[in-house]
Chain A
Amino acid sequence: MSRPKAFNTKIKIAFALWWTAWAALQFSVLWGYGLTIVQATVDSLISNWLLAGCCLLIANNMRYYLPGKEKYWYVLAISLALSLMWLLVVRVILGSLFKGDLSYSAILSNSLLIRFGVGLLMLEMVTAMSLLWYSQKEQKNMEERKNDAEKLTKEAELFKLRQQLQPHFLFNSLNSINALIAVKPGEARKMIEQLSDFLRGTLRKEDQQWVNLSEELQYLKLYLDIEKVRFGHRLSDEINCDASAAAMKVPPMLLQPIVENAIKFGLYDTIDDIVIRISAHANNDQLEVVVENPFDPETSNPKQGTGFGLSSVRRRLQLLYARSDLLNTRVEANHFITSVSIPQTI
Chain B
Amino acid sequence: MKTLIIDDEPLARLLIKEYLQPYPEVEIVQECNDGFEGLKAIQQHQPELIFLDIQMPKINGFEMLELVEQPPAVIFTTAYDEYAIRAFESHAVDYLLKPFSKERFDKAMEKWKESSHAVAAKANTQALIDSVVPTPSQANRIVVKLGGKIKIIPVDEILYLEGADDYVKIFTKEGSYLKNKTMSYFELSLDAQQFVRTHRSYIVNVQLITRIEPYEKDGHLAILKSGAQVPVSKTGYGKLKQVLGL
Contacts and interface: CB of A to CB of B under 8 A. Distances in A.
Contact of B80 (A167, A177, A183, A269): A167
A198 B2 CA distance: 40
Contact of B79 (A168, A180, A300): A168
Interface stretch (B8-16, B121-129, B208-216): B8-16
B98 A174 contact: yes
Given A168-B79, A270-B57, A270-B58, A175 B98 contact: yes
Chain B interface residue number, banded: 20 to 34
A168 B80 contact: yes
B79 A301 contact: no
Given A179-B11, A268-B58, A171 B154 contact: no
Given A179-B12, A231-B8, A172 B57 contact: no
B55 A168 contact: yes
Contacts of A298: 152, 154
B12 A175 contact: yes
Interface in A286-337: 296, 298-301, 304
B129 to A, nearest CB: 21
A175 B79 contact: yes
Contacts of A175: 9, 11-12, 15, 79, 98-100
Contacts of B14: 179, 183
B186 interface: no
Chain A interface residue number, banded: 20 to 34
B115 interface: no
Interface string A267-284: 111110000000000000
Interface in A158-208: 167-168, 171-172, 174-180, 182-183
Interface in B1-34: 8-12, 14-15, 18, 33-34
A26 B140 CA distance: 89
B87 interface: no
A301 B55 contact: no
A333 B97 CA distance: 37
Given A167-B80, A233-B10, 7 more contacts: A175-B11, A175-B98, A179-B11, A179-B12, A298-B152, A299-B58, A300-B140
Interface of A: 167-168, 171-172, 174-180, 182-183, 229-233, 267-271, 296, 298-301, 304
9 closest Cβ contacts across the A-B interface? A179-B15, A171-B79, A175-B98, A175-B99, A179-B11, A176-B11, A174-B99, A299-B152, A178-B99
